[in-house]
Structure 1
Amino acid sequence: MTAGTTNITHPTTGVSRAPLAGPALESLVGKSRPCEALVTDWCALSDTLQRVTVRWPRDHEFYTSDGRYSPLLFTESLRQALALLTHSAHDVPLTHRTGWERFDSRVDPDALAITADPALETVTLLISHLSVKRRRLGSVHLASSIEALRGGRHIGAAELRYSAHPPAVYNRLRGTYAQAAQAFARALPLTPPVPAARAGRRHERDVVLSPTASDREWLLRVDVDHPVLFDHPHDHIPGMVLLEAAVQAAHACAERPVVAVAFETEFHRYVEFDRRCLITAEPAAPDGAGRARVRIGASQEGRPVFSALVTTAPLPG
């Protein structure tokens, strides 16, 4: 699926759910601050297809700037939607720990403009579950495809592979890092940011890259006090932080302001708080539409932990 401008209609029958709100919602979508919960409701259209509604705020401290939404607001929206459905539609207990393995997405940059139309604050996510495999010890491996609509217009799409592990399995996987509060407390001291403008940001507090001697290499800058990226303790650095680093690295490589319009991403290992994480960038061949692409890598102690092929387009306007 490719993001475009076609108006698409879909079935609206299904089992309606009451609008979601309150602490239960925040737990289901993996946020602790109420203002960060984007999901408003969901319903099942079939056994394998659900519709999730999210609200995009016109003014957000991290995901809006200069009259535009960050493309990662789309990613955060589907992250929350999948977290909700993992527990609500697939009956995976809240005690399971979820992690992404593969994430590919496309978004229409023109659809990221903030408007005065209240109807366009609502985004509909149509989520098809391609595979749900339950393992003997309780782990669940899932694959999903997402289509996003705003005002009836197709604005983006994504495919994900992810897993959810029960405490016994997760604790064995993570060893001494399994407890979030202890792992969070091991975070290295905060390093200085690259200039905000170079990272495509307005404020230094939102920069997740620190300079090195190379203009194509950075240290991951981890501010555990950031209210959006770390609104609660984690046992490892979240994937949204790594995706933000990939976006900022792509900005730093561009000769003019750009917007990230596509990701092809793999999460190879858990990224730990107590080790330095090196972010690298190198140009890649343009995509079929001639848009620039940058290959981003992340490593800890010489081992790859994350990789992404980021496609960018000139910033509209």
Structure 2
Amino acid sequence: MSASTFQIERALPAAHPTAHGAPAAMGATPTAVRHHPSLTTTVPKEYVHRASVAEVMLTGWQRLGAHHFTVSAQWPRLHGYFATVDGHHDPLLVAETIRQAGLLLAHTEYAVPLGHQFLMWDLSVDTRPEHLLITSTPAAPEIEVTCSDVKHRGTTISGLHLNVVIRRDGHIAATGAATFNCTSPAVYRRLRAARTGPGAPTPLPLTSPLAPQDVGRLSPTDVVLSPTSTPDCWQLRADTRHPVLFDHPVDHIPGMVLLEAARQATTAHLNRPCLPTAIHSHFTRYAELDTPCHITAHTLTPDPAHPQQVLITGHQNNTPVFTTTITTTT
């Protein structure tokens, strides 16, 4: 399917009111017509690689130019996992929205078939917290997306970079960017044969979580770090049964789990709740489910009177898997 707009217009069955507000008799000519506004729905969940409709943030899109689009979204005031941070929408919710926008446009506007696999190389978010405050209604951000470095393969593409500006009520609430490649199912099976075929390794047993309050969480089931004997070093805790972090079966640790590990590591490292204002991540290889992934953190800006930057690194078998730099308010 390829489309340049997505909108639902659905007439509701209702009697036509008369000029006095009472329903007109059968066959009578109405003197006034009630107009119903268009109804909101999410985009198909398959376009954003989610199994649960509840985890779809996007509600529509429109092409403005060859590589220029707008995408509409809705952020709930209270989400089942993305935390309310000091009265603000979670910056990781913004990151998830950017991820979904890239997938949506790849499938609908660049003809990437459903079933293709995506590999994210980088994802960045810079927020303006004053425009991410939670109000009395769900937020309805408008997302401007410009795609570049589009790599073509036949009638589809093999990758692209997107730059994003997210506006809320006319104000810029966040900016961001992401780069990804996409591969066919056959290529992915060859690439990941040792991890997906017969005899594929099983995930590590689930390790004990840190105390939820130490990483800004309320429930131990939402903690993705386990303690180690080394200061400012933790083991990634990947609960493949988690209904949001592992929305559907995968053969590796999703990038959003790594971002959450970076956020929790920052909170534990600084020993205080924090609101990330910028998250810049680079992913260098698949994070495997059957190998311990160690997460380390150290401060790049030591002056606690200023916004602090923390560098988080994930390693498996002493090989870097990802790096994230988080800037946080004081």
Instruction: Please report the TM-score for the alignment, with normalisation by the length of structure 1.
Output: 0.86
Q: Distance in 2 between matches of 1:29 and 1:15?
A: 16
Q: Distance in 1 between matches of 2:279 and 2:148?
A: 20
Contact 1:139 1:165 in 2 (8 A): no
User: What amino acid maps onto 1:227 in structure 2?
Assistant: P
Higher alpha-carbon deviation: 161-170 or 265-274? 161-170
Verify: 1:165 aligned to 2:183, yes or no: yes
Q: Distance in 1 between matches of 2:194 and 2:154?
A: 24
Distance apart, 1:169 and its partner CA:
2.0
Q: Which structure is higher in strand share?
A: 1
Aligned pairs, how many?
295
Verify: 1:17 aligned to 2:35, yes or no: no
Match of 1:241 among 257, 262, 282: 257
2:195 alignment counterpart? 177
Verify: 1:187 aligned to 2:207, yes or no: no
1:110 alignment counterpart? 130
Structure 2, unaligned runs of 5 or more: 9-39
Q: Distance in 2 between matches of 1:68 and 1:138?
A: 38
Match of 2:286 among 270, 277, 296: 270
Deviations 1:2-52 (A, max 9, x none): xxxxxxxxxxxx954224857x71111111111111111111111111111
1:45 alignment counterpart? 64
DSSP 3-state at the match of 1:177: helix
Higher alpha-carbon deviation: 239-248 or 289-298? 289-298
Matches within 5 A, 1:1-317: 16-19=5-8, 21=41, 25-65=44-84, 67-116=87-136, 118=137, 121-135=139-153, 140-178=158-196, 186-285=202-301, 290-314=306-330
1:3 alignment counterpart? none
Contact 1:138 1:166 in 2 (8 A): no
Distance apart, 1:76 and its partner CA:
0.7
Q: Which has the higher contact order (CA 8 A, sep 6+)?
A: 1
Distance apart, 1:136 and its partner CA:
6.7
Distance apart, 1:174 and its partner CA:
1.6
Q: How many percent identity over aligned positions?
A: 37
Q: Distance in 1 between matches of 2:71 and 2:154?
A: 30
Contact 2:150 2:157 in 1 (8 A): no
Instruction: Please report the TM-score for the alignment, with normalisation by the length of structure 2.
Output: 0.83
CA, structure 1 residues 286+174, in 2 after alignment: closer, same or farther (shift >3 Å)? Answer: farther
DSSP 3-state at the match of 2:239: coil
Contact 1:137 1:169 in 2 (8 A): no
CA, structure 1 residues 54+121, in 2 after alignment: closer, same or farther (shift >3 Å)? Answer: same
Cα root mean square deviation, aligned: 2.4
CA, structure 1 residues 263+274, in 2 after alignment: closer, same or farther (shift >3 Å)? Answer: same
Q: Distance in 2 between matches of 1:167 and 1:178?
A: 12
Q: Distance in 2 between matches of 1:73 and 1:165?
A: 26
Higher alpha-carbon deviation: 167-176 or 34-43? 167-176
User: What amino acid maps onto 2:260 in structure 1?
Assistant: E
Deviations 1:192-217 (A, max 9, x none): 11111111112211110000012300
Distance apart, 1:286 and its partner CA:
6.6
DSSP 3-state at the match of 2:212: coil
State the structure with more CA Rg: 2
Deviations 1:95-132 (A, max 9, x none): 2101110122201223332110x3x5201111000121
Contact 2:57 2:97 in 1 (8 A): yes
User: What amino acid maps onto 1:123 in structure 2?
Assistant: P
Q: Distance in 1 between matches of 2:68 and 2:92?
A: 23
Q: Distance in 2 between matches of 1:122 and 1:97?
A: 29
Q: Distance in 2 between matches of 1:253 and 1:311?
A: 13
